A and B are shown apart, each in its own frame.
Chain A
Amino acid sequence: MPIERVLAMASAQVEAESKFEHHIHVCVASGCLSSGSDRVLQALRDEVKGRGLENKVLVKGVGCLGLCAAAPLIAVFPEGTYYQAVKPEDAPEIIDSLGKAPIERLHCPTDRPFFQKQNKIVLENSGYIDPLRIEEYVARGGYQALIEVLTEMSPNAVIEQITLSGLRGRGGGGYPTGLKWTTVAKSPGTLKYIICNADEGDPGAFMDRSVLESDPHRVLEGMAIAAYAVGATRGYVYCRAEYPVAIDRLDKAIKQAKKTGLLGPNVLSTPFSFDVEVRLGAGAFVCGEETALIASIEGKQGRPRHRPPYPAESGLFGYPTLINNVETFANIAPIIRNGGAWFAEIGTRGSHGTKVFALAGKVQYTGLIEVPMGTTLHEIVYEMGGGIPDNRPCKAIQTGGPSGGCIPARFIDLPVDYESLREKGSMMGSGGMIVMDDTSDMVDVARFFMEFCVGESCGKCVPCRVGTAQMNDLLTKIIDGKATKHDIVHLEELCELLRDTSLCGLGQSAPNPVVSTLTHFRQEYLDRLVETDEEAAS
């Protein structure tokens, strides 16, 4: 029986791991890889082999350890010691120190708020398991939720738990996941699709990449549970081609899952069948928008279309389709394992659970963090992030990428949840968080995001296609010190036009960085204006 085989795989893995006295985890996610962690991994393996310690010391590559600022990172267990900025030459010293006091020179203290304040649900396996081995995922309780769902729960009971959990879409919109699942489940038809949106494109955001690189099976398990709940039989992961490491690991994970009988026809010998394929994006940001994404999978130009009909009713190839983001799917298995009520208790009233943020910009400790909803910006920037380098004052925090806005530092005590961020003119977005200090020029920030939108607008609808280009020109004019007060009026009119009339979310939210900086940092715009002819004459 496949279920017994999976359980046997888990216990065999636990037993195999327990034979080692020391475990060395080397981060091999993209951040650390770019700092040479693959060479560190090799050096450590060679050192262990050279000393004949293969049966005592386990060296393995794992997913993201979080503190990207200190890459490459490694973790030594059972002590739980973290070492930062490790070089291949440090390998002998690290092996020497096993079981002894940590090496001061490389030590990365984990009693910092950066590590202590995190609440890892999505990232629970990140940094612990080798993403290339299904055995390690299973050994940490992976696929148990799928087994439970397939053997003990009805599709409706699954949706009930997701609804109870209060989980909301982690891609940015914050649409209630349970409601979305219900709609797809109720749509008539025997052929339905599941799509995992991994087209993460916000500048500075890398949460989804990290999840896929660190724990790809978690996403597949979430998709399979969703498929069972809504009655789908086929799934696609739409991942941007700029994530080669994530794609490779995902591909391998799908192969392993199929081989183990966790994907494919008659999953775990039940009547439920589910197959997953990976589709690559071709570098268009707008393909993160669901209708454009669907068009792209269908082999058409990645351009959005008018909704309704919503994908839940008529999506991929015209069939009912459930689209959720990577992080949303990553939350599913823990919710099923622990129950929806458990999840609902984490976070705030309107926003439950945790959120993964890619903390970047002017903070001491940049990296990947997972915090309960409702954590304040102050906690994230000053406690977890360690504050601004050189003790400079914080000026603003940008969330939501090109669709979000800049929250001025005076709202630093704002709790991070969907409603609070929206109230201040920004949005949750997919989880990019860029901290800016007093050297940041807010008009320039607005232009940066507008330039991004000009390049990424698909060009289908007029307001977004021409409007973003005109706004970008106006912002450049302001920065060059050639604009008058009339240009500000024109800029604001364009903001309203794009918000009101653009076809998809990209155009509708493209003015947000401009609107939020105009609201909170208007003086910076006004300081750059020149007098109009009439003003000069009077």
Chain B
Amino acid sequence: MSPKVRIKTLKIDGRDIGAREDETILQVARENGIQIPTLCHLDGLEPIGACRLCMVEVRGSSRLLPACVTRVEEGMEVTTKSPRLIRHRRMILELLFAERNHVCSVCVVNGKCELQSLAVALGMTQVRTPYRFPRFELDASHPRFVNDHNRCVLCARCVRVCDEIEGAHTWDIMGRGVNGRVITDLNEPWGESNSCTGCGKCVHVCPTGALSEKGTLREDAGKQRDFLPYLTLMREVRR
């Protein structure tokens, strides 16, 4: 850490909090036990501010700001829970559930899924938005892993972990908008990918059942992510 880093003081949900100037609202909130829901964010990966679940209110700003990419500022007054924020977060979850075919009862990660847990935590009791039921195929060409686009939320965690941590950049997103989907190499079957090292990091960072290990179900399908903060920390120490 550079010795020049300054300390800022701010208020989150009425609590006085001190933070380093290079920290984001999300980091500081979590350090202080204030929960802000996130989906695309994962400690150890570059934040992209894409899922918009971590939007917070900042006094003096008419816009909502994503906590994962907004740095703290002196005197900031942040609200992480308000009727408007809760309404928006639920609606974003509804949109995600309705976008593809998220049928928990027949999903390999049922009970271990981040999308599912978010729905419980945010009190999303029903999906009012009509389901879109797109038709997606399953890519089971890899000897160890399966890619089921039906469960994908396009958080790009797999893309980032493969690029930033593994350094293989096997994953990418093809297409635009609702037609976008994750691909391996140049849209080739995963099993035929030349760049994939088979490390499985993508599977373990995937928040849903989109990427899973073959032959696992429910209890075994839990994802291990301890490696990420560890790797990040070790890299920082070496630097």
Contact = CB atoms under 8 A, between A and B. Distances in A.
Nearest to A454: B177
A306 B178 CA distance: 20
Nearest to B89: A501
Interface stretch (B47-55, B141-149, B191-199): B47-55
Contacts of B173: 301, 459
Interface in B36-67: 48-53, 55, 63-64, 66
A458 B91 contact: no
Counting chain B residues whose Cβ lies within 8 A of the other chain, the interface size class is: 35 or more
Given A455-B176, A459-B173, A466 B50 contact: no
B186 to A, nearest CB: 14
Contact of B88 (A284, A457, A460, A497): A497
A502 B50 CA distance: 9
Q: Please classify the interface of chain A as helix (H, G, I), strand (E, B), loop, or mixed, using the class held by over half of its residues.
A: helix
Contacts of B87: 493
Contacts of A457: 176-178
Contacts of A458: 176-177, 180
Contacts, number: 95
Interface residues of A, number: 30
Contacts of B153: 462
The winner among B69, B128, B175, B177 for most chain A CB atoms within 10 A is B177
Contacts of B55: 500-501
Contact of A465 (B69, B84, B177): B177
Contacts of B232: none
A503 interface: yes
Interface in A84-136: none
A462 B175 contact: no
Contacts of A490: 128-129
A461 B177 contact: no
A466 B95 contact: yes
A485 interface: no
Contact of A459 (B66, B84, B88, B154): B154
A534 to B, nearest CB: 16
A461 B52 contact: yes
A494 B98 CA distance: 14
B130 interface: yes
B88 A454 contact: no
A463 interface: yes
A306 B66 contact: yes
A464 B132 CA distance: 15
Contacts of A497: 88, 91-92
Contacts of B91: 493-494, 497
Interface of A: 284, 301, 305-306, 454-470, 473, 490, 493-494, 497, 500-503
29 contacts: A301-B172, A306-B66, A455-B177, A456-B177, A457-B178, A458-B180, A459-B154, A459-B176, A460-B48, A461-B50, A462-B92, A463-B92, A464-B177, A465-B154, A465-B177, A466-B95, A466-B98, A466-B99, A466-B178, A473-B132, A490-B129, A493-B87, A497-B88, A497-B92, A500-B84, A501-B88, A501-B92, A503-B49, A503-B52
Interface of B: 48-53, 55, 63-64, 66, 69-70, 84, 87-88, 91-92, 95-96, 98-99, 128-130, 132, 153-154, 172-173, 175-180
Closest 6 CB pairs of A and B: A459-B180, A457-B177, A466-B95, A306-B49, A306-B69, A459-B177
